[in-house]
Amino acid sequence: MTIKEQTIVTSTGNKIVTKDKEIRIVGKMDEPLILILEDVLSHAECDLLIDLATARMQRAKIGNSHDVSDVRTSSSMFFEESENESIVQVESRIAELMNIPVAHAEPLQVLRYQPGEQYHPHFDYFTKGNDVNNRISTLVMYLNDVEEGGETYFPSLRFSVTPKKGSAVYFEYFYNDPRLNELTLHAGHPVAAGEKWVATQWMRRQRYR
Ligand SMILES: O=C(O)CCC(=O)C(=O)O
Ligand SMILES: [Fe+2]
């Protein structure tokens, strides 16, 4: 018998109830843990995040480097920590959902993909240096319905998630067995038609703010 490793999010059943929202679990992979979640953000919150981000978009930069890279062809921006009341509310809900204190949260990132833009397969955790306070989990929230394409794809698992406004995909990579972490390799498939907007929350192992 194989022993299942401890996960960060331990929810069973079909929902996660936070202080201000009931989030529905509509799909789950056990190991590595991947959850497909509905009603993470209201449509009004999605629209607000897009509005606030629009004016501040710039071509995506990868990780800590300041080179514009081919790994990601989308545009991005980061909110300031606790930038306004809505951001505070969303950040607290996300932290509760991800079962990690908000102090471990990186600033919320917004990405916009236009037709043909994509995010090539990558790990969200840092594979060199930085492992003292590495990332441990990710929540990718879909801020709009994409006309065609733009799926989040896990190539090692041959598993894809279709963007849906207000929904999200959650995954974690804080396992002892590095092979489980490596299975969280993921990509944003090219957008074929329309735009794709996502907000990404990365959590750190230790305090970050
Ligand atoms: O756009 C996506 O579907 C994935 C985004 C992503 O991988 C990230 O923000 O780290
Ligand atoms: Fe990612």
Predicted complex ipTM? 0.99
194, 163 in Cβ contact below 8 A? no
Please state, in angstroms and rounded to a whole number, the distance separating the CA atoms of residues 191 and 101. Answer: 33
Q: Which long-range contacts (CB under 8 A, 24 or more apart) does 50-57 make?
A: 50/110, 50/143, 50/144, 50/197, 52/79, 52/84, 53/77, 53/79, 53/110, 53/112, 53/197, 57/110, 57/112
* Ligand 2 centroid from CA 154, angstroms: 10
Give 23 or 59, the one with higher predicted confidence.
23
pLDDT at residue 66 in the model: 46
Residue type at 187? A
Q: Which of 37-46, 121-130, 142-151 comes out lowest in average pLDDT? A: 121-130
Give residue-wise pLDDT tens across range 158-184.
Answer: 999 999 999 999 999 999 999 999 999
Task: State the chain's mean pLDDT as an integer.
Answer: 92
Whether pLDDT at 131 is above 90: no
Q: Is the CB of 124 under 6 A from ligand 1?
A: yes
Question: pLDDT band for position 128 (50/70/90)?
Answer: confident
Domain ranges of the chain: 15-204
pLDDT at residue 70 in the model: 60
Q: Is the CB of 119 under 6 A from ligand 1?
A: yes
Q: Which atom of ligand 1 is nearest to the CA of 161?
A: 3
Q: Which ligand approaches the C-alpha of residue 198 most closely?
A: 1
pLDDT at residue 1 in the model: 56
Which CATH code is given to the segment(s) 15-204? 2.60.120.620
pLDDT at residue 53 in the model: 93
* Ligand 2 centroid from CA 53, angstroms: 19
* Ligand 2 centroid from CA 200, angstroms: 8
Q: Is the CB of 186 under 6 A from ligand 1?
A: yes
Please state, in angstroms and rounded to a whole number, the distance separating the CA atoms of residues 16 and 57. Answer: 32
C-alpha separations of 35 from 56, 127, 128, 168 in Å: 30, 23, 27, 8
